[in-house]
Amino acid sequence: MLPSNGGHPNPVSVLPPYSVAIPSESGEIGGMASPPFTVALIQDGVAATKAETLERTIASIRAAHARGAQVICLKELFDAPYFCKALDLERFDLAEPIPGPTVARLRAVAEELAVVLVVPIYERQGAGVYRNSAVVIDADGTVQGVYRKMHIPHDPLFEEKYYFAPGESSAPVQPAGARGPAGEAGGFMVWKTRYATIGVLICWDQWYPEAARITALLGADILLYPTAIGWHPAEKAEWGEAQVTAWRTAQRAHAIANGVFVAATNRVGFEAEDGTGGIEFFGHSFVYDPFGRPLAEAGTDAAIVLATCDPARIEETRRNWPFLRDRRVDAYAPLLHRWIGPRGD
């Protein structure tokens, strides 16, 4: 059992395997939580060409499937170098429509292997409209839809505002033929797949507790964060360890505060950019359980990170730590302001 909410949490408590009875619509206790599912994170870099990167990725998907993976998440902008390090008009040519050739190829793989794929790519939604997107493909090869990154950074070597429009916060348009999300609020979405209800957020989104909270409230079993985060080599000695710790801590907090599984897939390797020091992508992909404990973690090398997630732990954690129950939803309207300030400002 988890510690009750009457005392301080014990970060080293061990949960045995268990099942949780879930109330039915009539209010009677009966039935069971959804069965466990196995998630895989493909932590890797990019090859010399987009085509070669796609083939390597498919090989990794097959390897993950062979190890039992059912839900497989790729890194942010998986089939290209992280091209946002500089402003270059020709780099818009890396984008493709959804559906397009990359999605078509991975739909076939998903159907063949009966796996759910989260495929983050550079989307050309229309002439002059480009997005940092993630396609959700169900285990039958159906495109469920697309999540488009809501928070767009602007930082040295992370010039994303030049390349991406943010996702819409109201009635986001889905590709033709897509099944659509199981739930949507404010541009955040969940997808009911064969194996789990998943929420997808992308990289910079991971620093915003509001995004995690809304997606958890939509009913996600797991929040998946495709990511491209790394070190400026000149800063690594002084800030490297602290940056990784901050990145992991922010998302571990999302898991604990929302009682939900959280996973992030990062890229690895050094990517050069003329006139700069380039970026060393630091990997360290992970899966946390609803209590904030690591189920699986990677280092800085390419890896397939696997973890089995039991949705029963969500119910058990939230019963003992009822943070969602105790929210004062009537008191949070000030969050709609970018800044409040002390009285008199």
The DSSP line for 250-311 is: HHHHHHHHHT-EEEEE--EEEE--TTS--EEEE---EEE-TTS-EEEE--SS-EEEEEEE-T
73 an active-site residue? no
Main-chain phi, psi angles of 195, to 5 degrees: -105, -25
The catalytic residue among 75, 76, 271, 315 is 76
The catalytic residue among 73, 84, 123, 149 is 149
Name the β-bridge partners of 194: none
Spatial separation of the C-alpha atoms in residues 190 and 213, rounded to whole Å: 12
**DSSP label of 175:** P
50 an active-site residue? no
Nearest to 202 by CA among 270, 248, 263: 263
The catalytic residue among 203, 271, 309, 316 is 203
Spatial separation of the C-alpha atoms in residues 281 and 233, rounded to whole Å: 10
Name the β-bridge partners of 23: 29
Spatial separation of the C-alpha atoms in residues 277 and 271, rounded to whole Å: 9
203 an active-site residue? yes
Question: Active-site residues: which are they?
Answer: 76, 149, 203
